[in-house]
Structure 1
Amino acid sequence: MKKTNNSLEQKEVSLEAVPIVPGMAMGPVFQFRRLSFNIEDLDYDINSVKTEIHRFRSACKKTAQMLRKTQEMSSTIYDDQFREIFESQVALIEDNIFLQEIENRITQNQCSAAYAVFTVFHEKMDHFMSMENEYFRDRALDIQDLKHKILHAIFGIGTEYQISVPSVIFADYLSPSDTIHFNRNLILAIVTDTGGKTSHAAIVARSLNLPYVINDKNLSKIVQQKDFVIIDSYVGRVIINPLEKTLQSYRKLKKKYTTIESKLKKESALPATTIDGVNVDVYANVEFLHEISDVISSGASGIGLFRTEGIFLEKDKLPGEEEQYQIYRRFSEEMQGMPILLRTLDAGGDKILRDIDHPQEQNPFLGWRAIRFCIDEKDIFKTQLRAILRANILGNIQILIPMISCLGEIRETKKIIEEVSQELLSEGKEFFPDTEMGIMVEIPSAALMSDMFAREVDFMSIGTNDLTQYTLAVDRTNQKIARLFNDMHPAVLRLMQITIINARKNGIEVSLCGEMAANPEAIPVLLGLGLRKLSISPFMIPRIKKVIRMCNISECEALVEQLLTLPSSLEVDEKAQLFYNSKVSNSNLLL
């Protein structure tokens, strides 16, 4: 599409943005604006509590019907890949605890249904926004979306989704149902003011292969329908009303990107074998069932990290054994026998379960979380373990225990697994008795004691995000010191080397599932350390496999020997980058 003369006369504006789904698009702006509500706009006083409760119940019913209709539409067009997203939203607004909370607010405060919905949902949003974990902050957007949907239902307000020409959508945020309602053939890209990489909108955009960036400048309120934009979500850039020379440059760049992506897609099924014939398995990190199609299409060797916290935090009550069993069983079957490393509940820290009385902690990330929580809350842990063992009929699920710091935690976990096995046996329930158990190495003590730990477990998985954080005493979410967080720090590399050597000595597998494995420049370092199993986001797998195929193990090992003699992360970074640029050819294919 050619840019209009009117747009050409306007000043070009180039802004940085956070890339969420890689891609490039050019086209006119479509401003998606839903009617928003401020608390001062809502009536507080009411005539009848009974009438307001009825209004609230009716609005919830209408919202649930709308979500189910959207789910049916989604299933028709996109199969069932987004089903659980809509199911989780319906489950919340049909949850009796949630309904009662709103009705109690109406009754106790003698306030309108709209006012009660606004205030209760706002409190829930604040709860999630206060969490440091990005995934759970992104859940606040789901709460906000439901709030708007119920308020719209209360006031009988509809939403306009009509796009007449292929356009770039600008919005404050987009819900999955918003994205599904638009004509996919007319969406060129998405730009939102809020959101994150783990938001449900991001999940849908990835599945639909839509370029997506987030800009915190409230662009959705600044751009105009007449504007023409370029979205580069490979590097994170939004260009408003580009000059003709800019357009020409980006048209050439888009053609290059398209060629690169096409080649990577064709090569995704190729094995990740180095130049000198060493095979490396690249696995996927996932959280939900709908991601399995991405895992399969990415050329992954399996799932190297299945985070189960979402199952526990998506609803207001803890999932029972049968509910978990059905989810784990579907994972096992849909992965068609490929291995799955299922991480048990990593609660605590910023992941607070609502049914549990969590103590106020000065430093929750060093407190009652993960395996410490599970050992204390044994019934919750046993329920999950029962579901896992029963679901593992194909024998492709392995149990991964997070946050191990001492030998006692490993032995206590093995004891609980044995208890669960005996219970299932006595109940005559079918289960897989030889399910393997491994541990996350994400605390320095686990790395330093990995020689002893390796004798007690079937495998180990290095979590570089937490290992780096705990080794360097750097909170990676604290912007003031974020510059100090570096997983290529010599101390972190040494702890990883100790773990890998000890795993090999004891004849067990060791993998890595942190963000470090998604950094192309870190791949030669990881291979040189001896890692042969990596786990990353499905969307990075084709690129990382390509990098691996460009590496030579003997050269990578020589690189690591040099890196381990360097005193600072700055020197390590410089040396690793120099090696990558000189040895890993065609690095431009990995943008």
Structure 2
Amino acid sequence: MVGIVIVSHSKQLAEGLRELAAQMVHGQVPLAVAGGVDDTENPLGTDVIQVHQAIESVYSDAGVLVLMDMGSALMSAEMALEFLTEAQRQKIHLCEAPLVEGAIAAVVAAAAGGNIEQVMAEARGALMAKASQLGINLSPPTSYEQTPIPETQQTKEIYITVSNRMGLHARPAAQFVATSSRFQAQIKVRNITKKTEYVRADSINQVAMLGVRHNHELAISASGIDADEALTALQALVEDNFGEGDTPIYIPEEIPLDRQEIPVSIAAPSLKGIPASSGVAIAPSHRYAVAPIVRHQLPTLKSPQYYVENPEHEWQCLQDALNSASQEITTLLSQTSTQIGDTEAAIFDAHLLFLSDPIILEALRHYVFIEHVNAASAWQAVVEELSNQYRTHYDSYLRSRAADVLDVGQRVLRLLLGTAAAHLNLTHPAILVAIDLTPSDTAQLDTSKVLGICTTAGSSTSHTAIIASSLGIPAVVGLPEDILRLNDGMVIGMDGDTGHVWVEPNADIITALEAQRQAWQISQQKVRRNAHRSAITTDGKRMMVLGNIGGVTDAQVALSMGAEGVGLLRTEFLYLDRTTAPSEEEQFAVYEGITQVLESRPVVIRTLDVGGDKPAPYLNLPQENNPFLGWRGIRFCLDRVELFKIQLRAILRASASRTVKIMFPMISTIGELQTAKAIVEEVKEELRQGGIFFDENIKVGIMVEVPSAVTIAEQLAAEVDFFSIGTNDLSQYIMACDRTNPQVARLADALHPAVLRMILQTVEAGHKAGISVSLCGELGSDPIATPILLGFGLDDVSLNPQAIPRFKKSITRLSLIEAEAIASEALKQDSATKVREMLMTFNYW
């Protein structure tokens, strides 16, 4: 039988309601309450542990309906779910129904043998009888749904099971919506497993709210002139596992920590939250109030609502803000991809689709053109309504997506109000304390300064938690609000594995936490033990493994992960997010700092690569229809010679006593390369005349990332000292798809045989000319690609630092002969999916 839980600020109210409800059904229904808090002076409130215990007391496979009165009752109920297993959470349903009427209706329906959906429906409709008696017409909440598609003979339908491990999480949902949007047909989808209604397939929010998980069955219908093509494309997308293959999730080997041997006393004064990202940290606190999130509304920024006479002007303001937000998110997506990885960056694909969601746009149009509401207030209303839908969803995973809605909402509202973006500028290492962090905030944290994250809201499955974990920042969420009252500078000890936080911990706790941190470091040292050794195959072939970095801190991280140098220093970080170009001295200081960290190890510095997905407003880059095919990379630098020379002077000066190499991006012709080299020679002569030392024999190379460079690789090789293959751009150019466009991004797979053949052709051309060939794209960070890169004969590979240990480990498990055979077999496949399937048959990671 379905169980009922009543959550109220008042213990007396909760107990009284339980008595009333129990009498209605003679005690037949499992009924529990969580009311008030254990505080004689201030008894009103809610307690997460009480709610958790109440749920457990009435739990059964039939399901549990939780009714709440207001405010923190809802938050406590949401947090209580985090203490349950995933299987249990699937059975718990938080319901927005009125507390008293809803409870009475729910117990009656449960006593009559209704299932959880029937009980919930009765609770939600509990006010209808009262309203009818009073002559009041209760209209359903405003909804912005697509006009129902008439059920005609032209409507086609398919049924298909979702097989990828995480179901329709951020990236697959974005791909599903993007694919649907390509067709004129009206496409709907429903989750058969969850028994949902049909929703629009071109709405990222409606698709996400279906709660599709592994092995859930979908029904997809289409009506229109290209219905067959649409269904075929969607079926192929799902059957291809959304391009994710079946790659196993990499779990580092760790020494199990016996916490019995590390006596951190949780009996000592501590705060208990939900573990979100592993690790231990001890540091001064820093309250992060730049962009606090409240679960049910946009943060700090607010706009007064007023009537507008010119809705066209307001609509244009909205369009401008949405376009600007799209540019900002695209830049963030690119930065996250290069600094953390494509998987984490995919979170922002969904943010981009949010901006073009037809449901959102229809709602905005209604507010602006029908109700004549000003743009900022219209946006605010739509975002708050949508975030409420997410945070009250029965699925805990989707409830945590409310933070993403608010993240995008905050960004657009800031642009509408003309408010400057705020940034966190820490001068010393600290633990951040906040209500919550957005995914955007988290992706841009400096890991050398932010040692831990403590929030009162959030979820262990949120995108913020995922990014924090990828960055290696310990995090605890769902902490009591008392932590927000801490003064900056107060020392905090935190354990991201248990969820405990100590404020001003005593010496014993600090000692125990330090011991725990040391034990964790020992476990990491085991993981990285081989990473600091050379990557040598079982038959003696050595491959150099370098790191991709974007600053001094990244260089330190790369070395700690076992990098033997830097194969790609992205210099864009010096130019982005500022109002003027960096000076020669500023650049020199950074390059010099990085070379000092690396000591005698080599560093390849790529010259400025802006345009496309890396806009810099003060450079006055034009709006282009196809920015990835436009004025970017070396093309831009050759037109802005003085800007180019300033960077080259700084790089050459940094080469005076270190192993520094220059690399040009986006080379597509011999002429471009020769012109760039000529400018280098001009700068060298200027430095000689000024008596400034530099490496006279500095090596110069190019990124091979456009098809034309591959086809003339033999000619280019005669002009340079090395090649470095950029598989991210090379993949999108070969496959003719914009990798930042969710509609086609899945085509830009570097494991496609067409891309692999280009890589091999480049390696062969370089070796024929006697120059070294490296690879610095995302492909190197994919563990299943290791034998192909080795088998193709690459001299070195440059990776995101976090991927270095497992790459080296894979190399030591392979022989060159074996790798060559695997690479040869990969070239015989007809798709990236087939290549992945073939690679999965080998066990080398």
Q: TM-score, normalised by structure 2?
A: 0.47
- After TM superposition, list the pairs within 5 Å mapping 1:50-65 onto structure 2: none
Q: 1:430 to 1:178 in 2, by over 3 A?
A: closer
SS of match in other structure, 2:303: helix
Q: 1:352 to 1:568 in 2, by over 3 A?
A: closer
State the match for 1:7 in structure 2. 52
- After TM superposition, list the pairs within 5 Å mapping 1:336-415 onto structure 2: 336-415=599-678
**Alignment deviations for residues 249-276 of structure 1 (CA, whole Å, 9 cap, x no partner):** xxxxxxxx99975531233212111111
Question: Aligned equivalents of 2:728 and 2:465: distance in 1?
Answer: 18
With CA pairs under 8 Å and 6+ residues apart, which has the higher RCO, 1 or 2? 1
Q: Which of 567, 571, 586 is the aligned partner of 1:323?
A: 586
| Aligned amino acid, residue 784 of structure 2 | E
Question: Aligned equivalents of 2:765 and 2:839: distance in 1?
Answer: 25
State the match for 2:719 in structure 1. 456
Asked if residue 172 in structure 1 is aligned to residue 172 in structure 2, the reply is: no
Question: Aligned equivalents of 1:30 and 1:438: distance in 2?
Answer: 46
- After TM superposition, list the pairs within 5 Å mapping 1:109-124 onto structure 2: none
Asked whether the 8 Å contact 1:190–1:212 carries over to 2, the reply is no
State the match for 1:428 in structure 2. 691
Asked whether the 8 Å contact 2:735–2:748 carries over to 1, the reply is yes
State the match for 1:490 in structure 2. 753
SS of match in other structure, 1:475: coil
State the match for 1:506 in structure 2. 769
Question: Aligned equivalents of 2:565 and 2:447: distance in 1?
Answer: 29
Asked whether the 8 Å contact 1:308–1:343 carries over to 2, the reply is yes
SS of match in other structure, 2:532: coil
Asked whether the 8 Å contact 2:451–2:473 carries over to 1, the reply is no
Asked whether the 8 Å contact 1:272–1:282 carries over to 2, the reply is yes
Post-superposition offset of 1:135: 1.4
Post-superposition offset of 1:309: 0.5
Asked whether the 8 Å contact 2:453–2:475 carries over to 1, the reply is no
Q: 1:550 to 1:182 in 2, by over 3 A?
A: closer
Asked if residue 574 in structure 1 is aligned to residue 837 in structure 2, the reply is: yes
Asked whether the 8 Å contact 2:274–2:460 carries over to 1, the reply is no
Question: Aligned equivalents of 2:646 and 2:616: distance in 1?
Answer: 15
Question: Aligned equivalents of 2:609 and 2:680: distance in 1?
Answer: 17
State the match for 1:129 in structure 2. 329
Post-superposition offset of 1:425: 0.9
Asked if residue 290 in structure 1 is aligned to residue 553 in structure 2, the reply is: yes
SS of match in other structure, 1:268: helix
Question: Aligned equivalents of 1:381 and 1:528: distance in 2?
Answer: 37
| Aligned amino acid, residue 524 of structure 1 | P
Q: Which of 782, 785, 789 is the aligned partner of 1:519?
A: 782
- After TM superposition, list the pairs within 5 Å mapping 1:263-302 onto structure 2: 263-302=526-565
Asked if residue 28 in structure 1 is aligned to residue 268 in structure 2, the reply is: no
SS of match in other structure, 2:619: coil
Post-superposition offset of 1:206: 6.2
SS of match in other structure, 2:548: strand
Q: 1:554 to 1:296 in 2, by over 3 A?
A: same
Q: 1:477 to 1:359 in 2, by over 3 A?
A: closer
Q: 1:135 to 1:275 in 2, by over 3 A?
A: same
Post-superposition offset of 1:342: 0.5
SS of match in other structure, 1:40: coil
State the match for 1:242 in structure 2. none
Question: Aligned equivalents of 1:457 and 1:450: distance in 2?
Answer: 10
State the match for 2:814 in structure 1. 551
Question: Aligned equivalents of 2:321 and 2:479: distance in 1?
Answer: 31
Post-superposition offset of 1:290: 1.2
**Alignment deviations for residues 57-90 of structure 1 (CA, whole Å, 9 cap, x no partner):** xxxxxxxxxxxxxxxxxxxxxxxxxxxxxxxxxx
Asked whether the 8 Å contact 2:638–2:676 carries over to 1, the reply is yes
Asked if residue 416 in structure 1 is aligned to residue 661 in structure 2, the reply is: no
Asked whether the 8 Å contact 2:700–2:721 carries over to 1, the reply is yes
Post-superposition offset of 1:41: 5.3
Identity of aligned pairs, percent? 34
Asked whether the 8 Å contact 2:452–2:473 carries over to 1, the reply is no
Question: Aligned equivalents of 1:427 and 1:516: distance in 2?
Answer: 43
**Alignment deviations for residues 454-483 of structure 1 (CA, whole Å, 9 cap, x no partner):** 110000000011111100112222222233
Q: 1:264 to 1:29 in 2, by over 3 A?
A: closer
SS of match in other structure, 2:545: strand
State the match for 1:49 in structure 2. none
SS of match in other structure, 1:345: coil
Gap runs ≥5 in structure 2? 1-47, 57-80, 91-165, 172-248, 260-271, 277-287, 307-319, 338-344, 352-406, 425-430, 482-494, 498-519
| Aligned amino acid, residue 7 of structure 1 | H
Q: 1:212 to 1:419 in 2, by over 3 A?
A: farther
Question: Aligned equivalents of 2:445 and 2:764: distance in 1?
Answer: 49
Give me the CA root mean square deviation: 4.4
Post-superposition offset of 1:180: 9.1
**Alignment deviations for residues 296-348 of structure 1 (CA, whole Å, 9 cap, x no partner):** 11111100110000101132100111111111111111110210011000011
Question: Aligned equivalents of 1:374 and 1:553: distance in 2?
Answer: 40
Question: Aligned equivalents of 2:448 and 2:563: distance in 1?
Answer: 27
Name the structure with the higher helix share: 1
Q: 1:34 to 1:574 in 2, by over 3 A?
A: closer
Tell me which structure has the larger Cα radius of gyration. Answer: 2
Q: 1:542 to 1:407 in 2, by over 3 A?
A: same
State the match for 2:709 in structure 1. 446
| Aligned amino acid, residue 460 of structure 1 | F
State the match for 2:113 in structure 1. none
Gap runs ≥5 in structure 1? 44-119, 152-159, 164-168, 214-219, 233-256
